[in-house]
A = this chain, B = another copy of it.
Amino acid sequence: MSDGSNLARVAGALGERTRASMVIELLGGEALPVSALARAAGVAASTASGHVARLESAGLVTVRSDGRERLVALAGHEVAEAVEALTLLTGESEIRSLRAADRLAAERAARSCYDHLAGRLGVGVCDALCASGALEPGSLALRDAGVLERLGVDVESARDARRPLTRTCLDWSERRPHLAGGLGAALLGSLLERGWVARRPGGRALRVTDAGASGLLEVLGVDAAHLAATHGGRVV
């Protein structure tokens, strides 16, 4: 690795506006067809096809054929972590359109960071888990699995030798740490499975359902409906 060509190959795959848009789109955690990525990035299907091929050969995404579609997904949580680390280096973005502003507001409120919660909701849930004694405040080390199990998380099966059980992920919008790692992934998975949060179509933003609002209030004392509301904006 003293030679830079490996790093350049991976970074170069992200280092172009169109491909970067595609990867950000995939950061929602769902697999998307090539056509959706083309639309999101604003390029022709043929152009998008080439970019997907390059992302795949760089190992950033995996592609799976499904009928006549080809579904593209991030290759793993390591990719999402690298993208998040790079995103932290970028300054704030300028708002370009009303639609972009809406979308940004929704993502600031609640979003998935590939496989775990982020945004105000993610930080709020993490803080509540610390306050309830489930997690150690600074390090986010697991202290008491009880609260998490009441959220439907199977803590034991969240253990995975390939990555730490808990990890702090610095939120680019809140500039505060939130819960990532195997446990963060299991938590989002459980909330999605229970229908407490749902993915908003066409992006990384999440929506808190009525069941989720009451459940999170009861178990964690978190006013999720307030946290996940777009400040002063319309909530779809």
Report B-chain residues with C-beta under 8 Å of the C-beta of A185: none
User: A98 an interface residue at 8 Å Cβ cutoff?
Assistant: no
Report B-chain residues with C-beta under 8 Å of the C-beta of A89: 10, 59-60, 78-79, 82
Most buried by B among A6, A7, A22, A41: A7
User: A201 an interface residue at 8 Å Cβ cutoff?
Assistant: no
User: Contacts A16-B12, A24-B7, A139-B140: A172 and B1 contacting too (C-beta < 8 A)?
Assistant: yes
Query: What residue of chain B has the Cβ atom nearest to residue A7's Cβ?
Result: B20
Q: Is the CB of A96 within 8 A of B141?
A: no
Q: Which residues of A contact B (CB under 8 A)?
A: 1-24, 41, 59-60, 78-79, 81-83, 85-91, 93, 96, 100, 103-104, 107, 136, 138-142, 164-168, 172, 177, 203
- A135 to B: closest C-beta gap in Å: 10
- A113 to B: closest C-beta gap in Å: 12
Q: Is the CB of A17 within 8 A of B5?
A: yes
Q: Is the CB of A85 within 8 A of B78?
A: yes
A7's partner among B14, B78, B107 (CB-CB below 8 A) is B14
Q: Is the CB of A90 within 8 A of B2?
A: no
10 contacts between A and B (CB under 8 A): A5-B93, A7-B14, A8-B19, A9-B90, A11-B20, A12-B16, A15-B15, A15-B16, A59-B89, A139-B142
Q: Is the CB of B41 within 8 A of A20?
A: no
Q: Is the CB of B103 within 8 A of A7?
A: no
Report B-chain residues with C-beta under 8 Å of the C-beta of A6: 87, 90-91, 93
- Given pairs A1-B93, A3-B93, 17 additional interface contacts (CB within 8 A): A1-B107, A3-B21, A6-B90, A7-B20, A7-B87, A8-B17, A10-B89, A11-B15, A11-B20, A11-B86, A12-B16, A59-B89, A79-B89, A82-B82, A82-B86, A82-B89, A138-B165
